[in-house]
Structure 1
């Protein structure tokens, strides 16, 4: 109940329910209902612009567990999903700014 007020779509305010389900003992599907670019919760029907899936296999002795993660992107992050959405752009701009500042520091007479 404590998370009910925080797990809502940031656009329309509908409740989202992050879930994980399994087909077998070794195959798991995980959906956090969060935008991978900005980290905010988004609903599936109206405000998820792009969905991708990542598959991770974790070995455990002779068998392995397969986790299939659903990655969602909102309207703002969808055009930049290849570089990580809004967070990726912010990180790239910070890195470029740091390189430029360092360059100007060493060029200064």
Structure 2
């Protein structure tokens, strides 16, 4: 009940229900209903612009578990999905700026 106020679409305020389900003992589907670029909750019907799926296989003894994650991107992060959305652009700018500052510091006479 505490999460009911925080798990809403950041655009329209619709309640989202992150879920995980299994079709067998070793196959799991996970959907957090969060934008993979900015981390905010996004509803499925109206504000998810791009959706993809990643499959991760985790070995456990003689058998493995297959986790299928649904990755969503909102309207702001969808054009930037190749670099990781808004967070990816911010981290790239930070790294490039840091490298440029270090280079300028050592070049300065």
**Structure 2: any 5+ residue segments left out of the alignment?**
none
Q: How does 1:39-58 map to 2 (within 5 A)?
A: 39-58=39-58
Note the alpha carbon deviations across 1:54-86, whole angstroms, 9 max, x for none.
000001111110000000000000001111000
1:100 CA drift (Å): 0.8
Q: Which runs of 4+ in 1 moved over 2 A?
A: none
What is the SS of the residue equivalent to 1:82? Answer: helix
CA distance in 2, matches of 1:102, 1:58: 40
Q: TM-score, normalised on structure 2?
A: 0.99
Q: How does 1:12-91 map to 2 (within 5 A)?
A: 12-91=12-91
CA distance in 1, matches of 2:65, 2:98: 41
CA distance in 2, matches of 1:19, 1:79: 26
1:20 CA drift (Å): 0.3
CA distance in 2, matches of 1:58, 1:107: 48
CA distance in 2, matches of 1:47, 1:36: 13
What is the SS of the residue equivalent to 1:47? Answer: coil
CA distance in 1, matches of 2:57, 2:104: 45
Q: What is the aligned-residue RMSD (CA, Å)?
A: 0.4
**Structure 1: any 5+ residue segments left out of the alignment?**
none
